[in-house]
Every structure is written in C-alpha cells, then in structure tokens.
Chains A and B, each alone.
Chain A
Amino acid sequence: MTRRQLARAGYNAAAVLVLLVTLFPIYWMVATGFKRGVDILSFEPRWLPVPGTLENYRSAIAKPYFLQDVRNSVLVVVATVLISLVLAFLAALAAARFNFRGRAALIVMLIVVQMVPLEALIIPIYLMLDGAGQTDRLAGIIVTYLTFVLPFAIWTLRGFIVNIPEELEEAAMVDGCTRAGAFRRILLPLVAPGLVATSVFSFILVWNDYLIAYVLLRSPEKQTLGIWLASFTTNHGTEWGGVMAGSTLFAIPAVVFFLLVQRRVVSGLTAGAVKG
C-alpha cells in the first residue's frame, strides 16, 4: 500500500467512527420505538426491531393534546422565525455596513445578552407577561422567543454580510444604483444562504426550548410539543418504547426541515463573485 492509500484508509476509518458515534444513538432510538416490550427489556440487546410493533407509536399519538400541541409548535416556530429574520436582517445590515456611534457597544451587547441565563430571566419575564395578561398565550411566548433568537440571529447574519465584499455594492452604486438598491439587488441574493442558515438556527433554538414554554404555557391545549414529550418521559417506571417513539416523533419535523434547508445552503456563492 502506498502512503497515499494508507492515509485514505485512515481517513475512512475515522469517518466510519464519526458515523457510528453520530448515527448509532439515533438508530437505537428509532429501533427501540418499533420494538416489542419484551425485546426492549432484554439483557442481550436486540439489534433489529424484528418482529416490530407500532404499539409504542399508537400510545404516543393517543396521548391527550398531541395534535393540538403539534399545531401550537408549528405556529410558534414559523412566526418566530419569520419575524426574527426580517428584524435581524435590518439590524445586521446596520452593524455590518455602517459606521455609527455605539456600534461597538451594540456588538458587545449582542454577546452579553446571550450570556444571561434564561432560567433567571424567566422569573421577571413571567411576572411581566402576567401583568400584561400574556401568559398562557401563544403571542406572549412568540415575543419571548424573539428576544432569545434575535441577538443570535443578528450576530450570525452580521457574520455572513461582513464576508460579502463591499466592493460589489460599491460597483453597483458607481453604476447608478442607490444604496438601498445595492442592498436589495446585490447583497440580498448573496446573503440568501446566510438567511437560510439563520432560520435554521432560530428554528432549532425555538424547537429545543423546554423551560420557557413550560413556565409560560400552563393549560394543556396551549402547550408545545416539547412539553408533551417531557410529560411522556416523566412517567415513572420508564417505559422506554413509548419514550423512544415520542422522541422520534418530536425529532422528525426538526430533522426534515433541517435536511430540506441544509441542501440549499450554498457556500460557494461568494467564492466566485469577486474573482469573476
């Protein structure tokens, strides 16, 4: 074997290891969800869910408020992502393309804000929303999510915009484009992958939340899917089949959305832009 082949073999071995570590836990969840109770509680692991059963899924879906909570989650996530995207793009534009007083302070603030432990802020936020009559309402939780998503979204988008050469816009302006026109015609298409990536991050942040939804949404018909899953896992005497089926269902939308978007994140868009 030549040195080159040896290196290739080493890389592939490492790749297999990474694949195993990333994918086996997920496979194990899916497989367990389809297994019969006796096969789950076996000292020798059953690697394949054969014979399989849908019993775990049936019991997961039959849980009260499942469909309602799905709707709530979708509504909350879509609203938060769309609103934060628009606001964050404008703010990121300011932070990346303009020199103004307080720019450094703004950037420091964006970082500092992300350090504040949300477990602590949840008390004052709860008191405030309660005073405004917005607890146990989806509007209240959307606004709350916005504040946690926005700093991160602005920060990420700013990074994408900074990486796009300003000369492109300058060239357009020399050719008679207005500054706003240059942003819209030149910057916006180039930053599209950034917008997509930012939506993914926002989506993940919101979908992953447990604490805010748990504290702010009290009645079962207003809750989101995360709470639904948690209510499943807190059933004692852990019934692993049901938990894994519930976890799979909870993960599916996140994974599907993520995979759809992942394909469209074209990183090479700016690579050829300046070189021509």
Chain B
Amino acid sequence: MAPYALLAPSLLVLAAILGFPMYRLVSLSFQQYGLRELFAGKGTFIGLDNYREVVTDPFFWTVVVRTVLFAGVCVGLTMVLGTLVALLLRNLARPMRVAVTAGLVAAWAMPVLTAISIWQWMFDFEFGVVNWLLTKLGADGFQQHNWFDQPLQGFSVIVLVVVWGALPFVAITLHAGLTQVPAELEEAARVDGAGAWQVFRHITFPVMKPIFLILATLSTIWDFKVFTQIWVLLNQRPSREYFLLGIWSYSESFGVTRYGKGAAIAVIMVILLLVVTSFYVRQMLRAVGP
C-alpha cells in the first residue's frame, strides 16, 4: 500500500488538471469546434475529418520535416557542446572553472523572455552588435541586414537562442555527473595507454549513459515544441515559413479559431514526439529495470 499512498496526492492533481484536459484535447480533435461551438459550449463529432484535412495538406509534411530537422539540430548542438563544456570544466584550474561555471549559471538563470529580447537587440538590423561585428570582420552585406527575411538565417538565430538557453543546464548537469565517474577507472585506462577519446568512449560515456539519455530525451521534448522563442522573436506574427508544429497548432486554434483542427495537429505532434523519443524511453526503462 505504501507506494500508492505516496503517489496518491501527485496523481490526483495530475489527473484532475492534466488528465482531463488531455482527454478534452483528444475529443476536440474529433470535433468541429469553431467560434460558434465555443459560444454554444459544445462541438459536433465529425470523426477523422480534422486529421484527414491535416494529413492531406502538403504543408503538413513541410512542417513535420522542418520540426524534426529543427529539433534535431538544436538537440545535437546542445548535447555535443554541452559535453565539450562539461569536459572542459573538469580540465580547468579552480579559478577559471568557477568563472566559467558562473557564466553558465548566469546564462541559465536568464528567463526565456529576457534571453529573447537580448538576442533580438543584438540581432537588430540597424543598431545590432552582431551586424556591426560581421561588417567589421569584413563580411559583406550585413549593414542594415534583417536576419529574419530569410527563413534559413532566421532559424539560425532561433537555434542560437534555444541552444544558448539550453546549454548551461546540460553542461552543468553533465559536469555534476562527471564527478560520479570513478577517477580510478579513468586513471587505470590512461595508465594502460588509452587516449582522451578512448577514455571518454569506453569509460566516461558508459558510466554517464543514464544521464546522457535523460538529457537527450528532455532536450528532444523541449526543442520539439519550441514556441515562445519563435513567436516572440518574430513579433507574434511568424510567417508560414517559420511554422513548426506547435506554432501551426496554436495559430489554427487561436488565430483562425479552428480549435478542432488545432487539437488534431497537437495530437499528431504528441504522437510524433512519442515515436521520436520511444528509442530513448526504451533505453531508459531498461536502465530503470522491470
């Protein structure tokens, strides 16, 4: 009985205000639910029509590929750079390590909204320090350059903002995890002639694997549903070239008040995310045990 008693309070809260809305989300996705239904407080069941409409729209596949690519780039960069910074921290003398940790913590502590406005200002087309720097370095065409005219460039800025915000968490968590790797093991490997990469590949990584898995899963989840960064960086009016699944779902619901279709997109997004992360989840469950 003990575990159930311990779980009960959390589960009650989650069921009441998370479970029910999730059920409502799914039921909405099978309904015609627009402005009229909103006032009436009741939708009409239309089966799979919303899903049919979404999936047959060529735009859907564009958005799916874009979302997967975007999340993949963000997660990849965050994990690789985070690992490098964590390993770097371990190799620094104490004063420098404290300084770098402080820098990471400062960036980590920045609220998303703050980070967004900082980068918006740094990438300002007219007085932004980034355009100034690129021009100074001899790059052409960056005077009065608007980064968001071109989706590829715009997305680079968005990736930068996302990775800048996510990196400290990954780096600091990995660095904390590194302290749990038995120093004797690594030393023994080094004595046996293993290089830095081999030590990482065969000793550090296997010991740290659970932490890597958790971080990769969380990053995937977060970067798959990135919303605020794009929404605010593009002044709450992103063009369709910037739509990811989350933005599309939001704008179908609140922009053109088609809540049923928006809900269908959201459900598809959750399923897609499940497929993408099922690999990690399986690995994690193996680590957790039956």
Chain A residues within CB distance 8 Å of chain B: 7-8, 11-12, 14-15, 18-19, 21-23, 25-26, 28-29, 32, 40-45, 87-88, 90-91, 93-95, 98, 100, 103-104, 106-108, 111-121, 123-125, 127-128, 143-144, 146-147, 150-151, 154, 159, 163, 179, 204, 207-208, 210-211, 226, 229-230, 233-234, 238, 240, 243-244, 247-248, 250-251, 254-255, 258-259, 262, 265, 267-268, 271
Contact check, A25 vs B96: say whether CB atoms are below 8 A apart: no
Interface string of B155-188 (1 = CB under 8 A from A): 0000000001000100000001001100000000
CA distance A49 to B4 in the complex (A): 58
Residues on the B chain within 8 Å of A255, using CB: 106, 109-110
Asked if residues B117 and A243 are in contact (CB atoms below 8 Å), the reply is yes
**B contact residues vs A (CB 8 Å cutoff):** 2-4, 6-7, 9-11, 13-14, 17-18, 20-22, 24-25, 28, 85, 88, 91-93, 96, 99-100, 103-115, 117-119, 121-122, 124, 126-127, 129, 132, 164, 168, 176, 179-180, 214, 217-218, 221, 224-225, 227-228, 232, 235-236, 245-246, 249-250, 253, 259, 262-263, 265-267, 269-270, 273-274, 277, 281, 284-285, 288, 290
In the assembled complex, how far is the CB of residue A32 from the closest CB belonging to chain B, in whole angstroms? 7
Q: A128 and B6 in contact (CB under 8 A), knowing A211-B227, A258-B105?
A: no
- Taking A90-B10, A267-B176 as known contacts, 17 extra A-B pairs with beta carbons closer than 8 A to each other, sorted by chain A number, are A15-B99, A26-B118, A28-B122, A29-B118, A94-B7, A106-B7, A107-B285, A115-B274, A117-B270, A120-B250, A124-B20, A124-B22, A229-B114, A238-B124, A254-B109, A258-B109, A267-B179
Q: Is the CB of B22 within 8 A of A93?
A: no
Partner of B92, one of A15, A91, A111, A226: A15
B111 x A127 contact (CB < 8 A): no
Residues of A within 8 A of B232 (CB): 210, 230, 233
A116–B22 contact, CB under 8 A? yes
A18 and B127 contacting across the interface, CB-CB below 8 Å: no
Quote the shortest CB–CB distance from A52 to chain B (angstroms): 18
Q: Which of B91, B121, B168, B284 contacts A11 (CB 8 A)?
A: B91
